[in-house]
């Protein structure tokens, strides 16, 4: 699917799904704006885009900072003249019982997962309204549709993303701007899943498993299609939602989970 000439902002594009989204968009001819708070890993993604011959802009951006986001929009428009696609990918996760969850952990997850999407969408929407065109894709989760044990703050944030997506889609529809959410299930190859403090470690604590590889195999048995997802599975859906083929889709929250949420 060609993205030739499109300008796409991807938040959290230093690693994992965000990195994969950015690289695949670049391969298909898009000009990509790479943003993350991890500057060293962000530059690694930028080097990969450069090797592909793609045009890019790499910016250190904290999605909870309105000044960082305003700068992101200004520099994107200055360099590329427009914004066609915003992929709100940056995310945070904390695990534990509500009675043990700190206020700081609650604030971190809600700030990144909800406030970050609000601030980025608000700033980018202003430009898209001028253009009377745009695609906003918010990353929610199957945890935005079903509550999970010891994941209360994460679930709350992802439920909020779905509600925000539905409302924003109605607001921006008159300007031909599509707003949709993607709801992944178990996705391997990401820091959020396999990194320190991620879902894998959380499930190991919950189940009492001490072997990471064994835990990964256990998790795959929870998926009706018998495998975990990979970043590319999610990227393919985002590419479709970013294309004109999805011009009559808005306000949707689409599961991509191997059948897990309905199981």
User: Could you list the active site residues?
Assistant: 154
Is residue 208 classed exposed, middle or buried when 0-12, 13-18 and 19+ CB atoms within 10 A define those classes? exposed
CB distance 88 to 11 below 8 Å? yes
Residues ≥6 apart with Cβ < 8 Å to 74? none
In angstroms, the CA 251 to CA 169 distance is 5
Question: What does 166-228 look like in DSSP terms, one character per residue?
Answer: HHHHHHHGGGTEEEEEEEE--BSSSHHHHSTTSHHHHHHHHHT---HHHHHHHHHTTSTTSS-
In angstroms, the CA 19 to CA 262 distance is 28
Residue 119, CB-side half-sphere exposure with 13 Å CA sphere = 22
- Location of structure tokens 């949709």: 180
Provide the b/e sequence for 102-128 (b: ≥16 CB within 10 Å).
eeebbebbbbbbbbbbbbbbebbbebb
């Amino acid at each position: 699917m060609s993205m030739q000439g499109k300008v796409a902002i991807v938040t959290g594009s230093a690693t994992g799904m965000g990195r994969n989204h950015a690289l695949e968009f670049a391969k298909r001819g898009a000009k990509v704006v790479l943003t993350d708070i991890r500057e060293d890993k962000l530059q690694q993604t930028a080097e990969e885009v450069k090797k592909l011959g793609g045009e890019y802009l790499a910016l250190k951006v904290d999605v909870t900072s309105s000044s960082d986001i305003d700068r992101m929009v200004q520099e994107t428009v200055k360099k590329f003249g427009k914004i066609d696609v915003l992929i709100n990918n940056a995310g945070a996760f904390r695990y534990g019982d509500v009675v043990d969850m700190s206020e700081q952990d609650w604030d971190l997850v809600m700030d990144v997962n909800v406030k970050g999407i609000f601030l980025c969408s608000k700033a980018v929407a202003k430009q898209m309204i001028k253009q009377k065109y745009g695609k906003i894709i918010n990353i929610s989760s199957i945890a935005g549709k079903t509550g999970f044990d010891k994941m209360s703050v994460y679930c709350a944030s992802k439920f909020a993303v779905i509600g925000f997506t539905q409302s924003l889609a109605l607001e921006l529809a008159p300007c031909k701007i599509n707003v949709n959410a993607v709801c992944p299930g178990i996705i391997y190859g990401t820091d959020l899943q396999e990194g320190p403090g991620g879902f894998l470690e959380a499930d190991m604590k919950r189940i009492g498993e001490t072997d990471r590889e064994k835990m990964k195999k256990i998790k795959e048995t929870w998926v009706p299609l018998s495998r975990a997802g990979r970043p590319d599975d999610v990227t393919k859906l985002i590419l479709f939602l970013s294309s004109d083929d999805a011009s009559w889709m808005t306000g949707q929250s689409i599961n991509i989970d191997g059948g897990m949420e309905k199981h």
